[in-house]
Amino acid sequence: MAGANRKNTRTGEAKFSYIDERTVKDAEILYVGEMVSQDATPEALASTDTASTVVLGVGTKEIDNTDDGETVDFISTAVHLMVNSSTALAKTDIGGFAYVEDACTVTTLAGATNNIIAGVVTEVTSDGVYVDFDPAKKA
């Protein structure tokens, strides 16, 4: 159920990353504040814990591709507040990687199946997990 778990994301410094224009996967809807990935085609899609996908960042506008033909070219690589999984990240995870559970939720390595890196954990609060989506920090 896409968009059901969305939280209002709070960002750190405004950082946006231009990506070569990507076609959005057929019938896909990308929501503001949710993680956006690309697959091997490379088409943009809502992030999931699916093998052979890479997180690009966080969506900055809603894109409804149910009629096909939509593209995405800007995503945010700033720090965003994401939902913490039931396999919760903790303060001890700060500085380590957060992994994708779904488009809104990040988890620990133990909670991930395909180990898709969302970004670097910068803070863990009762509101969720702050994740830095800067691609240079995932290397």
- Domain membership of residue 42 (yes or no) is yes
* Same-domain pairing of 71 and 118: no
Q: Are residues 23 and 37 in the same domain?
A: yes
Q: Do 62 and 2 touch, CB atoms closer than 8 A?
A: no
Are 89 and 71 within one domain? Answer: no
Q: Which residue has the higher pLDDT, 139 or 90?
A: 90
Q: Is the pLDDT of residue 2 over 60?
A: no
Pairwise CA distance, residues 39 & 103, whole Å: 14
Q: Which domain holds residue 41?
A: 16-76
Evaluate if residue 69 carries a pLDDT over 90.
no
Spatial neighbors of 25 by CB under 8 A, at least 6 apart, are 39, 41, 43, 44, 45, 65
With a pLDDT cut of 90, the percent of the chain lying above it is 67
Tell me the Ramachandran region of residue 122: left when phi exceeds 0, alpha when psi lies from -120 to 50, beta otherwise: alpha
One domain for residues 70 and 116: no
Looking at residue 19, its pLDDT comes to: 67
Q: Are residues 85 and 132 in the same domain?
A: yes
pLDDT tens-place string over residues 93-120: 999 999 999 999 999 999 999 999 999 9
Q: What is the pLDDT of residue 118?
A: 97
Instruction: Say if residue 68 is in the same domain as residue 87.
Output: no
> Mean pLDDT score of the chain, rounded to an integer?
88
* pLDDT tens digit sequence for 3-21: 444 444 454 444 556 666 7
Same domain, 102 and 53: no
Q: How many domains does the chain have?
A: 2
Of 55, 76, 97, the residue at which a domain comes to its end is 76
- Distance of alpha carbon 92 from its chain centroid, rounded? 21
Q: How far is 52 from 69, CA to CA, in rounded Å?
A: 23
Domain final residue pick, 58, 76, 94: 76
Give the pLDDT of residue 139. Answer: 78
pTM, 2 dp: 0.87
In a domain, 65, yes or no: yes
d(CA 16, CA 13): 10
Average pLDDT value for residue range 14-36: 83
Q: List, for residues 120-129, the tens digit of each pLDDT value.
A: 999 999 999 9
pLDDT at 21: 79
| pLDDT score, position 73 | 81
Whether residue 66 is found in the same domain as residue 88: no
Please give the single-letter amino acid code of residue 138: K
Q: What letter represents residue 49's amino acid?
A: D
Distance in angstroms (rounded) separating the CA atoms of residues 43 and 112? 22
Q: Which of 120, 99, 9 is nearest to 54 (CA)?
A: 99
